[in-house]
Amino acid sequence: MVFTPDTDVTLRHAAALANTGPALGEERREELPDLAALLAWMDRWEWTGRRPTSEAEVDAVRRLRPRLREIWALDEDGKVEAANALLEQGRALPRLVRHGDVGWHVHATRDDAPLAQRISVEVGMALVDVIRADETERLKVCAGEDCEDLLVDLSKNRSRKFCDGTCGTRANVAAYRARKSRDTATG
Ligand SMILES: [Zn+2]
Ligand SMILES: [Zn+2]
Protein backbone atom coordinates (compact mmCIF):
# COMPACT_ATOMS: atom_id res chain seq x y z
CA MET A 1 0.00 0.00 0.00
CA VAL A 2 1.32 3.41 -0.97
CA PHE A 3 -0.80 5.62 1.27
CA THR A 4 -3.16 5.01 4.15
CA PRO A 5 -6.50 3.49 3.08
CA ASP A 6 -8.42 6.75 3.58
CA THR A 7 -5.94 8.71 1.46
CA ASP A 8 -6.09 6.02 -1.24
CA VAL A 9 -9.86 6.21 -1.36
CA THR A 10 -9.92 10.01 -1.29
CA LEU A 11 -7.51 10.24 -4.23
CA ARG A 12 -9.36 7.63 -6.27
CA HIS A 13 -12.63 9.35 -5.44
CA ALA A 14 -11.27 12.74 -6.51
CA ALA A 15 -10.06 11.37 -9.85
CA ALA A 16 -13.35 9.56 -10.45
CA LEU A 17 -15.29 12.70 -9.55
CA ALA A 18 -13.32 14.84 -12.00
CA ASN A 19 -13.94 12.19 -14.63
CA THR A 20 -17.72 12.49 -14.27
CA GLY A 21 -17.50 15.84 -16.05
CA PRO A 22 -16.12 17.01 -19.36
CA ALA A 23 -12.39 17.48 -19.82
CA LEU A 24 -11.04 20.66 -21.35
CA GLY A 25 -12.22 20.94 -24.93
CA GLU A 26 -14.48 17.94 -24.58
CA GLU A 27 -18.02 18.43 -25.84
CA ARG A 28 -20.11 16.99 -23.10
CA ARG A 29 -20.06 14.41 -20.45
CA GLU A 30 -22.27 14.69 -17.43
CA GLU A 31 -22.49 11.76 -15.09
CA LEU A 32 -23.83 13.88 -12.24
CA PRO A 33 -26.87 15.41 -13.94
CA ASP A 34 -29.04 15.82 -10.84
CA LEU A 35 -29.46 15.28 -7.12
CA ALA A 36 -30.43 11.61 -7.53
CA ALA A 37 -27.19 10.95 -9.43
CA LEU A 38 -25.17 12.65 -6.71
CA LEU A 39 -26.86 10.63 -3.96
CA ALA A 40 -26.15 7.42 -5.88
CA TRP A 41 -22.56 8.61 -6.23
CA MET A 42 -22.35 9.08 -2.44
CA ASP A 43 -23.61 5.55 -1.90
CA ARG A 44 -21.18 4.11 -4.40
CA TRP A 45 -18.28 5.79 -2.56
CA GLU A 46 -19.73 5.05 0.86
CA TRP A 47 -19.96 8.65 1.96
CA THR A 48 -21.31 9.04 5.47
CA GLY A 49 -22.64 12.25 7.04
CA ARG A 50 -25.20 14.74 5.84
CA ARG A 51 -26.70 14.20 2.40
CA PRO A 52 -27.22 17.05 -0.08
CA THR A 53 -30.81 18.15 -0.58
CA SER A 54 -30.65 20.78 -3.31
CA GLU A 55 -29.54 21.24 -6.89
CA ALA A 56 -27.30 24.07 -5.67
CA GLU A 57 -25.29 21.51 -3.73
CA VAL A 58 -25.03 19.30 -6.80
CA ASP A 59 -23.75 22.31 -8.68
CA ALA A 60 -21.16 23.04 -5.99
CA VAL A 61 -19.83 19.48 -6.32
CA ARG A 62 -19.77 19.75 -10.12
CA ARG A 63 -17.77 22.96 -9.84
CA LEU A 64 -15.02 21.11 -7.98
CA ARG A 65 -14.23 19.02 -11.03
CA PRO A 66 -12.27 21.56 -13.11
CA ARG A 67 -10.42 22.52 -9.91
CA LEU A 68 -9.40 18.90 -9.41
CA ARG A 69 -8.15 18.69 -12.99
CA GLU A 70 -6.14 21.84 -12.36
CA ILE A 71 -4.61 20.43 -9.18
CA TRP A 72 -3.62 17.20 -10.92
CA ALA A 73 -1.75 19.25 -13.52
CA LEU A 74 0.14 21.43 -11.02
CA ASP A 75 3.78 20.86 -10.13
CA GLU A 76 4.73 20.06 -6.55
CA ASP A 77 4.88 23.69 -5.38
CA GLY A 78 1.51 24.31 -6.99
CA LYS A 79 0.04 21.28 -5.26
CA VAL A 80 1.37 22.54 -1.93
CA GLU A 81 -0.37 25.86 -2.45
CA ALA A 82 -3.56 24.13 -3.54
CA ALA A 83 -3.54 21.83 -0.50
CA ASN A 84 -3.09 24.76 1.87
CA ALA A 85 -5.83 26.72 0.14
CA LEU A 86 -8.28 23.80 0.26
CA LEU A 87 -7.65 23.29 3.96
CA GLU A 88 -7.93 26.97 4.77
CA GLN A 89 -11.03 27.64 2.67
CA GLY A 90 -12.72 24.54 4.06
CA ARG A 91 -11.74 25.49 7.64
CA ALA A 92 -10.17 22.09 8.21
CA LEU A 93 -10.08 20.89 11.78
CA PRO A 94 -8.71 17.35 11.76
CA ARG A 95 -9.94 14.77 14.21
CA LEU A 96 -9.71 11.00 14.43
CA VAL A 97 -12.92 9.08 13.90
CA ARG A 98 -14.06 5.56 13.15
CA HIS A 99 -17.41 4.40 11.88
CA GLY A 100 -18.96 1.27 10.41
CA ASP A 101 -16.14 -1.12 9.69
CA VAL A 102 -13.70 1.67 8.78
CA GLY A 103 -10.85 1.88 11.32
CA TRP A 104 -9.35 5.07 12.71
CA HIS A 105 -9.03 7.78 10.11
CA VAL A 106 -9.22 11.54 9.86
CA HIS A 107 -12.25 13.71 9.23
CA ALA A 108 -11.39 17.38 9.05
CA THR A 109 -14.84 18.88 8.56
CA ARG A 110 -18.07 18.50 10.47
CA ASP A 111 -20.24 15.65 9.21
CA ASP A 112 -23.06 18.12 8.53
CA ALA A 113 -20.92 20.44 6.39
CA PRO A 114 -21.91 20.76 2.71
CA LEU A 115 -20.63 17.86 0.60
CA ALA A 116 -18.53 20.07 -1.68
CA GLN A 117 -16.72 21.45 1.36
CA ARG A 118 -16.14 18.00 2.78
CA ILE A 119 -14.76 16.79 -0.54
CA SER A 120 -12.40 19.78 -0.88
CA VAL A 121 -11.03 19.34 2.61
CA GLU A 122 -10.60 15.59 2.13
CA VAL A 123 -8.66 16.26 -1.05
CA GLY A 124 -6.56 18.83 0.81
CA MET A 125 -5.77 16.30 3.54
CA ALA A 126 -4.92 13.61 0.97
CA LEU A 127 -2.62 16.03 -0.85
CA VAL A 128 -0.79 16.62 2.42
CA ASP A 129 -0.03 12.89 2.55
CA VAL A 130 0.98 12.73 -1.11
CA ILE A 131 3.31 15.70 -0.81
CA ARG A 132 4.89 14.58 2.45
CA ALA A 133 5.57 11.17 0.94
CA ASP A 134 7.09 12.84 -2.14
CA GLU A 135 4.65 10.96 -4.38
CA THR A 136 3.02 13.75 -6.38
CA GLU A 137 3.96 11.99 -9.61
CA ARG A 138 1.35 9.37 -8.85
CA LEU A 139 -1.39 11.83 -9.79
CA LYS A 140 -1.53 11.34 -13.55
CA VAL A 141 -3.61 11.97 -16.63
CA CYS A 142 -4.46 8.94 -18.78
CA ALA A 143 -2.02 8.42 -21.66
CA GLY A 144 -4.77 7.07 -23.91
CA GLU A 145 -5.41 8.76 -27.21
CA ASP A 146 -8.21 11.34 -26.86
CA CYS A 147 -8.55 10.58 -23.17
CA GLU A 148 -7.94 13.18 -20.47
CA ASP A 149 -9.18 11.15 -17.53
CA LEU A 150 -7.43 11.62 -14.22
CA LEU A 151 -5.95 8.60 -12.52
CA VAL A 152 -4.06 7.72 -9.37
CA ASP A 153 -1.15 5.41 -9.98
CA LEU A 154 -1.01 3.14 -6.93
CA SER A 155 1.14 0.52 -8.64
CA LYS A 156 4.34 -0.66 -7.03
CA ASN A 157 6.67 0.74 -9.68
CA ARG A 158 4.60 3.81 -10.64
CA SER A 159 4.09 2.32 -14.08
CA ARG A 160 0.39 2.86 -14.57
CA LYS A 161 -0.43 4.88 -17.67
CA PHE A 162 -4.10 4.35 -18.45
CA CYS A 163 -7.43 5.05 -16.83
CA ASP A 164 -9.88 2.43 -15.62
CA GLY A 165 -11.90 2.85 -18.79
CA THR A 166 -11.18 1.23 -22.13
CA CYS A 167 -7.79 2.89 -22.65
CA GLY A 168 -5.67 0.16 -21.04
CA THR A 169 -7.39 -2.59 -22.99
CA ARG A 170 -7.12 -0.62 -26.21
CA ALA A 171 -3.39 -0.03 -25.68
CA ASN A 172 -2.83 -3.74 -25.04
CA VAL A 173 -4.67 -4.68 -28.20
CA ALA A 174 -2.70 -2.12 -30.23
CA ALA A 175 0.60 -3.41 -28.83
CA TYR A 176 -0.40 -6.96 -29.63
CA ARG A 177 -1.37 -6.06 -33.20
CA ALA A 178 1.87 -4.13 -33.74
CA ARG A 179 3.87 -7.10 -32.48
CA LYS A 180 1.94 -9.46 -34.68
CA SER A 181 2.32 -7.45 -37.87
CA ARG A 182 6.03 -7.07 -37.14
CA ASP A 183 6.34 -10.83 -36.73
CA THR A 184 4.48 -11.38 -40.00
CA ALA A 185 6.65 -8.83 -41.79
CA THR A 186 9.93 -10.39 -40.70
CA GLY A 187 8.77 -13.97 -40.71
ZN1 LIG B 1 -15.00 8.48 7.57
ZN1 LIG C 1 -8.20 6.82 -20.56
CA of 83 to the centre of ligand 1 (A): 19
Tell me the per-residue pLDDT of 36-67, one tens digit each, with 9 for 90 and over: 999 999 999 999 999 999 999 999 999 999 99
Report CA 70 to chain centroid distance, whole Å: 12
CA of 165 to the centre of ligand 2 (A): 6
Tell me the per-residue pLDDT of 139-186, one tens digit each, with 9 for 90 and over: 999 999 888 999 999 999 999 999 987 888 877 777 778 888 887 776
Residues listed for the chain:
187
State yes or no: pLDDT of 187 exceeds 70.
no
CA of 179 to the centre of ligand 1 (A): 47
Tell me the per-residue pLDDT of 116-138, one tens digit each, with 9 for 90 and over: 999 999 999 999 999 999 999 99
CA of 99 to the centre of ligand 1 (A): 6
HEC per residue, the chain: CCCCHHHHHHHHHHHHHHCCCCCCCCCCCCCCCCHHHHHHHHHHCCCCCCCCCCHHHHHHHHHHHHHHHHHHHCCHHHHHHHHHHHHHHCCCCCEEEEECCEEEEEECCCCCCCHHHHHHHHHHHHHHHHHHCCCHHHEEECCCCCCCCEEECCCCCCCCCCCCCCHHHHHHHHHHHHHHHHHHHHC
- Could you tell me which of 3, 2, 6, 1 has the C-alpha nearest to residue 104? 6
CA of 21 to the centre of ligand 2 (A): 14
d(C-alpha 34, C-alpha 15), whole Å: 20
CA–CA–CA angle 114, 117, 121 (5° rounding):
140
Closest ligand to C-alpha of residue 146 is 2
CA of 18 to the centre of ligand 1 (A): 21
CA of 143 to the centre of ligand 1 (A): 32
Closest ligand to C-alpha of residue 102 is 1
CA of 60 to the centre of ligand 2 (A): 25
